A and B are shown apart, each in its own frame.
Chain A
Amino acid sequence: AQSVSQHNHHVILSEAASLELGCNYSYGGTVNLFWYVQYPGQHLQLLLKYFSGDPLVKGIKGFEAEFIKSKFSFNLRKPSVQWSDTAEYFCAVMAYGQNFVFGPGTRLSVLP
C-alpha cells in the first residue's frame, strides 16, 4: 500500500525566509505527485503537480517542487515566504488507477 510522510508537523519562519517542506512516499511503481494547500478558513486547493517530464515543477504563488525518483521524494520549496503563505500543506500521491493518498500535512506559520 502507498504511504506518504511529511517531515515536519509545524514550521515557523519569518517573512523572506526560504522554505523547504519534505515529502517522501512509498510505492514502487509510477506515481503522480501533488502538493495541496489549505489556507485558514478555505478549502484545499492544488499548488502544483507532477505527472512526467521535467522533475522540477513550478506551481502557483512562486512555489516549486522537485521530484527525485531515487529518493522517493517530492519536496516543496519557495525562496522567500510571505505572511500570506501561512497555511497547511499536504503532499499527495496517486498511482495510476488508484486513489489519492495524502500525507499528514505540515502547518506553516510565517511571522510578519
Chain B
Amino acid sequence: EAGVTQFPSHSVIEKGQTVTLRCDPISGHDNLYWYRRVMGKEIKFLLHFVKESKQDESGMPNNRFLAERTGGTYSTLKVQPAELEDSGVYFCASSQRARDDEKLFFGSGTQLSVL
C-alpha cells in the first residue's frame, strides 16, 4: 500500500515568493491533516480536511496560508507571500479515523527554507 506522499521534499525560496506544497494521502483516507514543525519545536496542527471540506483550520497562522483539497483527494498548501518565520518542516498526515483504530499516517514532510 502506498503511503502518504509529499512534494517537494525540500523547497528553498526567497522572502516574498510563493510556494505550494502538495500532499497525496493514502487512498481511501477521508481525513487529511497538515502540521508543521518550526525551528525544532513541537509539531503543530494547521488544519484538518474531511474529504474536500475544511473541518478545522484553527491552526492556520494567518491569511498567507491557503489550503485546498479539491475533489477530496490530494491537498495543496500555498504560502503567499512567504516570510522568514514560515521556515520549517510541513507534514501531511491522513487517517481513516475509525474510532477503534485511530492513528495518523505521516508523509516524509517538506522542508521549507525561506531566505
* A residues at B contact (CB < 8 Å): 4, 32, 34, 36, 42-46, 49, 51, 90, 94, 99-105
Contacts and interface: CB of A to CB of B under 8 A. Distances in A.
Interface in B26-51: 33, 35, 40-45, 48
A102 B107 contact: no
A94 B48 CA distance: 14
Contacts of A103: 42
A100 B43 CA distance: 10
Interface stretch (B12-20, B70-78, B98-106): B98-106
A45 B35 CA distance: 15
Contacts of B90: none
Prevailing SS type, chain A contact patch = strand
B92 to A, nearest CB: 10
Contact of B42 (A44, A46, A102): A102
Top 7 A-B residue pairs of the complex, sorted by shortest distance between their CB atoms: A44-B106, A102-B43, A104-B42, A43-B108, A43-B106, A99-B45, A102-B42
B48 A99 contact: yes
Given A42-B108, A43-B3, A45-B106, 12 more contacts: A34-B103, A43-B106, A43-B108, A43-B109, A44-B93, A44-B106, A46-B104, A51-B102, A100-B45, A100-B104, A102-B44, A104-B41
A99 B56 contact: yes
Contacts of B41: 104
Interface residues of B, number: 22
B42 to A, nearest CB: 4
A105 B42 contact: yes
B42 A99 contact: no
Most buried by A among B41, B100, B102, B107: B102
A102 B109 CA distance: 16
B58 to A, nearest CB: 9
30 contacts: A4-B42, A32-B102, A34-B103, A42-B108, A43-B3, A43-B4, A43-B106, A43-B107, A44-B91, A44-B93, A45-B106, A46-B104, A49-B103, A51-B100, A51-B102, A90-B43, A94-B102, A99-B45, A100-B33, A100-B45, A100-B104, A101-B45, A102-B44, A103-B42, A104-B40, A104-B41, A104-B42, A105-B40, A105-B42, A105-B43
